[in-house]
Structure 1
């Protein structure tokens, strides 16, 4: 019972809540006392992670949501999610949602994507008729939001994405259109939803990010878009790897690869790189090295155009190389790969650069290279000062917790700057 209470408390921390349940609380639950509504999802997830399968409310003895007489359509679920994400009073509650490590996602081939199914879900309303121009608008807006993410951070970009989904894309999805245009719109909406989930993940709202990913999968399936379906699964694998669920990360990565047998060279590299990282996490070093070779070969065949959403380039590949070395505890080569990644990274990728310098600084600190670590933290702070990003906040909290000794002018300078940035962020 003590271990179960600890598991629920850990999940509370993961979702942004501070819980202090003890063995006596679990004893009360087992005796029939219903835990608070807000804690029930945490209990279900703790059980699911222990059993390695989803656990329903009914199985746990919780009241079911019987008032939901009909399952809303995927578009309705997306609109509801986006509307809540737009509301500042609801956003914090959404962000506290629990990430499910026992979620199973079927392969694309196991799902039905027939046109008739999509037509049945579509509701024609007097909102006009759309064509290819509206699809292009959604694609362009998605690219612009991805640019804002790189330049200013997800804290600014995600509310824009949610508002655009609700105020514009929802109307397009409900409008009259030819079958081809409607499918193209579903695909474009899926891309934007995937990007919104990506931003939520990087803002440490992992339960919310996972929910957006699931909505993106629904839309990609309805449109018959295997590539977006695959790319979304790859994003789910990255999320699982960040949360240290290695087996789940590998499951999603393999499912992503299976969903895109005809992928372009760049997407193939994108998928193989994630498979390599996940393989290394579960101790399959040989498999990881093999996947890295496949990623490198595929990337060498890619054209020069890099997608704004879910793009993959030499810098991203080298980041995966660094992860594979680090999982094998080869920190020296991990640092070398990270340095190389930063050298070839686009100057526009401030979000990625911020993350890479923070990871580099932490690994240099592990090696005992204190002054090099301080220099990398300084580069991290250059971007952190101007970006709104919870991932950056996470790294900054870790930096402040290091409590480096004032052994040199370099460490003293960094400590002074940490205090200055903390005051700036608090203002």
Structure 2
């Protein structure tokens, strides 16, 4: 079950407590001859995604409509047929785009309000995880995304959204996803949500959806970096739906690459391979060399974990071939993360899985020599230190890890903390004389709780 953010949003807007809503539903039921005895715990279950039986959803609509002074339907409270068929925020192809916008913006509001259940919900698996990718890849397409509405969206608005995406991506790279997430979610609510509800033509609407998709994807990255995997997945699914309505297949491929990254982290290697293949297949000629290189490299990592050395090495070859074709000036902003050396890091990790440590070290060292932003530099140093430890060169690894710890200061990222803790454990187990000083540096970087 996924949290019912639509119902939560309407409850908050109506000003009724959970116990109050339960009492109102009980009284409304009595007028229909129903003996209901709901308490606040039942409302909590509804907010977690449970759908009450019988006439109760209609009673909830009746109560909320009376308090809000406007009609409220089952779709409005997240219990209608479209919500059931959608399954995720990406929505089924038959679900209306306007309905998707309402579900998406309801999630943003709940996230800004720091609803605790949002960050603890695990990522969905099975059909619910696969359907958004399948729906992106397959018909029907959105033939018209124009929308009547108050105000009119302008090209200047879209330029602002694009600038915001770049701004928050840079913030994420410098300070981490934990520090950045609240800022970008606040921006989505204050700036992007009103624009999505505003009036726009089909052409301008597609540009609006593309720009918003880029922002939502960064929000998902920040949630992933904060260990809120269910929330991150929902943001990625939203970004994928917006990419589809924008008509930009390459952008959809980029969002799927984010889902592949998350699937790898969660250990779902087969899904990682399938998602990457879907992106490569469906984006076709719209996919850029940078994105193709990253997707092939991530497939190599997954195949290595599954013990398929032949497929892993084939993907490594394809990744390196695509990396050689990258021209920075011809890549969209979203694939700017594929900086020099990134593919080397991915390949090094795949080679570790294959047990080829000398080749892995060569790639990791090459990645460290290449220019990188602060976050990328920490990740690369962690990879090289890990390989040096695996090869029994603890003294050298301690020096590499010391630089890593210094560069990680000031970053609020669960993913980087995972790497720091891993290297600390390995250094401490090595018994190296220099390890004590380096582990102290790592402890200093980890001292402030996130």
Specify the TM-score bucket, using the shorter chain as the normaliser.
Answer: 0.7 to 0.9
Alignment correspondent of 2:388? 364
**Residue 246 to residue 365, structure 1, CA distance change in 2 (3 Å):** same
1:379 matched to 2:403: yes
After superposition, residues 379-398 of structure 1 pair within 5 angstroms as: 379-398=403-422
Report the Cα offset of residue 264 of structure 1: 2.6
The residue aligned with 1:7 is: none
Distance (whole Å) between structure 1 residues aligned to residue 430 and residue 143 of structure 2: 66
Distance of 1:369 and 1:336 partners within structure 2: 15
Equivalence for 1:190: 213
For residue 259 of structure 1, report the CA deviation from its aligned partner: 1.9
- On the 8 A contact 2:406/2:445 being kept in 1, the answer is no
Please name the residue that 2:104 is paired with. 78
Alignment partner of 1:162: what SS? helix
Partner SS state of residue 113, structure 1: coil
Distance 2:104 2:348 in 1: 36
Compute the displacement of 1:426 (Å).
4.8
Moved over 6 A (4+): 36-41, 62-65
Q: Deviations over 1:211-232 (max 9, x none)?
A: 1111111111122221111111
Q: Which position in structure 1 is the counterpart of 2:167?
A: 144
- Work out whether residues 152 and 198 of structure 2, in 8 Å CA contact, stay in contact via their aligned partners in 1: yes
Q: Which moved more, 1:300-309 or 1:336-345?
A: 300-309
Q: TM-score, normalised on structure 1?
A: 0.77
Counterpart mapping for 1:12-411 below 5 A = 68-70=78-80, 71=82, 73-88=99-114, 90=115, 92-102=116-126, 103-104=129-130, 105-106=133-134, 108-116=136-144, 118-119=145-146, 122=147, 124-126=148-150, 128-262=151-285, 263-305=287-329, 307-311=332-336, 312-346=338-372, 349-402=373-426, 404=428, 407=431, 409-411=433-435
Count, aligned residues: 366
CA contact (8 A) 1:77 1:215 kept: no
Please tell me whether the aligned partners of residues 183 and 223 of structure 1 are also in contact (alpha carbons under 8 angstroms): yes
Which structure has the larger Rg over C-alpha atoms?
2
Q: Which runs of 5+ in 1 are unaligned?
A: 1-35, 42-55
Looking at structure 2, the residues matched to 397 and 195 of structure 1 have their Cα atoms a distance apart, in angstroms, of 25
> Conserved in 1, the CA contact under 8 Å of 2:290 and 2:323?
yes
Q: For residues 181 and 426 of structure 1, what CA distance do their matches in structure 2 show?
A: 44
| CA–CA separation in structure 2 for the residues paired with 1:200 and 1:182 | 26
Local SS of the residue matching 1:310: helix
Query: How far apart, in 2, do the equivalents of 1:112 and 1:370 lie?
Result: 56
Q: 1:375 to 1:426 in 2, by over 3 A?
A: same
Q: Distance between the aligned counterparts of 1:133 and 1:379, measured in 2? A: 43
